[in-house]
Structure 1
Amino acid sequence: MEPGQQSVHLSDVVSALSFALDITEGQPAGHSLRCCWLGMHLGRRIDLSAAELSDLYYTLLLKDIGCSSNAARICRLYLADDLSFKNAYKMVDTKLPEVLRFLVSHTARNSGMIERLQAMIHVARNGGEIARELIETRCQRGAEIARTMRLSESVASGILDLDEHWDGSGQPLGRAGEEISLFARIALLVQVADVFFRRGGTEGAVAELRSRAGRWFDPKLVAAVEGLATEPHIWAALEEEGLQDKVMALEPRSLVRAVDEDYLDDIAAGFARVVDAKSPFTAGHSERVALFSDLIADELGYAPERRRWLRRAALLHDIGKLGVSNAILDKNGRPEPDEWAAIKRHPELGRTILSKTVALENTAAIAGDHHERLDGRGYPRGLAGLEIDLDTRIVSTADVFDALTADRPYRAAMPASEALALMEKDVGTALDPECFAALQRGLVRMQDVAA
């Protein structure tokens, strides 16, 4: 929220930010909302209490919050685009022929024959351990982030157990039956239901759930979904406009959670961790950009409330990068034209996501414009001069400084002095002179304090 803005509900913020998790998983926009819609109706059907429904609600919206943490490894191990790999894997059962067909068709598809064979041999030899490690990283990271966002241990456990299967064949701990969190059992079931509903409607979704009952899914939950299949309005809503508002209305009214400034800071910090986990080269990037932005804003005389808002915007400035494949982000070399086009789309993705909630809509311009330049040669809109507001200029300056002083796939980190000398050449054309001077002063002050 911007200073003076009214508080909002947690459901508004989380339902909006769930779109970022959808694009990270390579899923059509609204996947998390659709899962929440189905899962909450299932929870009501099995008579969960209001407190249980409240925790289930946030488990469903945030089930994929750890999903960015394994993206780089998927690219590296399978020599694949993580977004299309994840999207396709949602369709795969654990039956051996199906898994083998998937691996053959998705491992190193665009590599040379020798490289592809080497990758496939490695996967064949170590596939079980690779899958366990990838899922463990994702689930543990997701549970950790949920806790930092003040969600209950029940929500964290639901996220942690998401990939466990009823018969014990899941990952990472091989839990079985009722050892698995009930929220996780529901979340995995409705996740598969949404994927197959988009392919074959209600009949296709229910048929797929039925085929995995007793293996992946609790048979009682599958039977409950079969009961939901007799209520066509529930399934029709998955394809209608305004689902976000309908999902927000499902949160138990007596347990609606308000978001104050402190809580919104924690949410922004949690999603910044999701963004930065996408690539080993961006670890801590959002937090550092927030720090440098605050340093500049302080030098420019921003009031404490405005600085707080700007830090939050800086934490989320790169949220659209979750929709860019790690095959591009981690590439050691210049992007090809189509890859560069994908990179240039990330600011607009960020603007779209942050615009979906009143609590963060005033940060959307910073996400959307932080790669614009004063001379109009930036992207995505080619804004120039005063068309770029001062808040965005501050974050852009901080972003460039951190990018230069951190390791990247194509070069090592620069010393601060070298980075500042390089940035100075772009002052007045790309970077704002006042923001750059404020950064220099702030860094000197930091150095003096450290000494």
Structure 2
Amino acid sequence: VSIRCERGAEIARLLGFHEETASAIRALDEHWNGRGHPDGLRGAQIPLLARIACLAQTVDVFASERGVDAAYAVAAERRGRWFDPAVVDALVSFRSDRVFWANLRDADVASLDPGERPEAVDELRLDRIAEAFARVIDAKSPYTHRHSERVAEIAVEIGATLGCSDEALRELRRAGLLHDIGKLGVPNTILDKPGALDAEERRIVEQHPRHSEEILARVAAFAAISEIAGAHHERLDGSGYPDGRRVEQLSLAMRILAVADVFEAMTAERPYRTAMTTERALDLIRKEAGLQLCAVCVGALEQTFASGETPVRLSVPA
């Protein structure tokens, strides 16, 4: 619970939300009696927005699963313990509003869409947005913590070693941060499965790069990196997925991202194996150089780790 609230607040800040919003998210699971998380805030120490949201999320769950009466019963029972008494009293004031409660059960959620509101953002803001979504993506599974950030860091180091321009490095970084956004649609029962995937599970997993590309292509600011992100599982010999592209169809950026993703995955814990050492991962990747993975990019990866230190480049020049 504590980690969820803390990460949520960090993501809100990266996305540029007001500090009041971030603080409310952090305090979402604080309780009126001081026995909540993550900071044990009590009473009026808890931001009002958090007090309201804490009650709202509980009422929503109980109203959906057991009905409105059950939701009110829980609110009354926890009044003064979990929930601010004044906020519970406000909830009670519209208990008899049948139209309100009926609308909450309306399946037409599309009617709640506020519509598009174009907003001009600079390059730094776009970087922060990409970082925020990377954290959302990596929070999907305990086995992917910081995966996207690490892939982005490694990809930028490889690109810098190969002499890529600052603009190309920025695109590489964003593609690395967002390459797995399509995994948000993959069930955790598949992502965290300790054994081998069956045919249908593998089919679902192998569609995530396509979903990443489709999602990013719909966002004007990220459309330029959509194809790069969507090709991170493609291989030079055509054995990759989702499209089976061959060497002539893979740009340098695509090849760099593929190498960075493979290396990071090998050196991270997975539900079906322990993390490999840097030396072991490099040894295996060398064997694929020129076959499935770009030999030039693999060579740059080796140079990156020649000192035995992990890359720490978090950004590219403005």
**Paired amino acid for 2:3:** T
**Paired amino acid for 1:337:** A
Partner of 1:350: 212
| Aligned partners of 1:189 and 1:209 also within 8 Å | no
Map 1:416-427 onto structure 2 (within 5 A).
416-427=278-289
Partner of 1:379: 241
Paired with 1:140 and 1:189, the residues of 2 have a C-alpha distance of 19
Classify 1:383/1:242 alpha carbon distance in 2 versus 1 (closer, same or farther; 3 Å): farther
What do you get for the CA RMSD once the two structures are aligned?
A: 4.1
Which of 251, 270, 283 aligns to 2:132? It is 270
Paired with 1:177 and 1:336, the residues of 2 have a C-alpha distance of 51
Normalized against structure 2, the TM-score is what? Answer: 0.74
1:294 pairs with 2:156: yes
Partner of 2:29: 163
| Aligned partners of 1:164 and 1:180 also within 8 Å | yes
Classify 1:221/1:195 alpha carbon distance in 2 versus 1 (closer, same or farther; 3 Å): same
Partner of 2:231: 369
| Aligned partners of 2:55 and 2:88 also within 8 Å | no
Map 1:139-218 onto structure 2 (within 5 A).
139-164=5-30, 178-188=44-54, 191=57, 209-214=71-76, 215=78, 218=87
Q: Deviations over 1:285-330 (max 9, x none)?
A: 2222112211222233321022112112101212333444555444
Paired with 2:72 and 2:116, the residues of 1 have a C-alpha distance of 29
Classify 1:380/1:227 alpha carbon distance in 2 versus 1 (closer, same or farther; 3 Å): farther
Map 1:10-409 onto structure 2 (within 5 A).
135-164=1-30, 178-188=44-54, 191=57, 209-214=71-76, 215=78, 218-222=87-91, 230=99, 239=108, 241=110, 244=113, 246=114, 258-409=120-271
**Paired amino acid for 2:237:** D
**Paired amino acid for 1:140:** E
**Paired amino acid for 1:380:** P
SS of the residue corresponding to residue 243 of structure 2 reads: coil
Paired with 1:328 and 1:355, the residues of 2 have a C-alpha distance of 26
Paired with 1:139 and 1:360, the residues of 2 have a C-alpha distance of 28
**Paired amino acid for 1:437:** G
**Paired amino acid for 2:254:** T
Q: Deviations over 1:165-217 (max 9, x none)?
A: 567786556666655422223434554676678789xxx6x656544444366
Partner of 1:131: none
**Paired amino acid for 2:129:** I
SS of the residue corresponding to residue 286 of structure 1 reads: helix
Normalized against structure 1, the TM-score is what? Answer: 0.55
SS of the residue corresponding to residue 305 of structure 1 reads: helix
Structure scoring higher RCO (CA < 8 A, sep ≥ 6) equals 1
**Alpha-carbon deviation of 1:247?**
5.3
Paired with 2:242 and 2:100, the residues of 1 have a C-alpha distance of 44
Classify 1:353/1:196 alpha carbon distance in 2 versus 1 (closer, same or farther; 3 Å): farther
Q: Which has the higher helix share?
A: 1
**Alpha-carbon deviation of 1:331?**
4.1
Classify 1:148/1:362 alpha carbon distance in 2 versus 1 (closer, same or farther; 3 Å): same
**Paired amino acid for 1:282:** T
Count how many residue pairs are aligned between Structure 1 and Structure 2.
Answer: 304
SS of the residue corresponding to residue 220 of structure 2 reads: coil
Paired with 1:310 and 1:233, the residues of 2 have a C-alpha distance of 47
**Alpha-carbon deviation of 1:395?**
0.6
Classify 1:414/1:140 alpha carbon distance in 2 versus 1 (closer, same or farther; 3 Å): closer
Classify 1:207/1:306 alpha carbon distance in 2 versus 1 (closer, same or farther; 3 Å): farther
| Aligned partners of 2:15 and 2:128 also within 8 Å | yes
Paired with 1:240 and 1:359, the residues of 2 have a C-alpha distance of 26
**Alpha-carbon deviation of 1:160?**
1.8
Classify 1:173/1:405 alpha carbon distance in 2 versus 1 (closer, same or farther; 3 Å): closer
User: Identity of aligned pairs, percent?
Assistant: 44
Classify 1:234/1:319 alpha carbon distance in 2 versus 1 (closer, same or farther; 3 Å): same
| Aligned partners of 1:281 and 1:330 also within 8 Å | yes
**Alpha-carbon deviation of 1:399?**
0.8
Paired with 2:293 and 2:147, the residues of 1 have a C-alpha distance of 19
**Alpha-carbon deviation of 1:362?**
3.0
Classify 1:364/1:222 alpha carbon distance in 2 versus 1 (closer, same or farther; 3 Å): farther
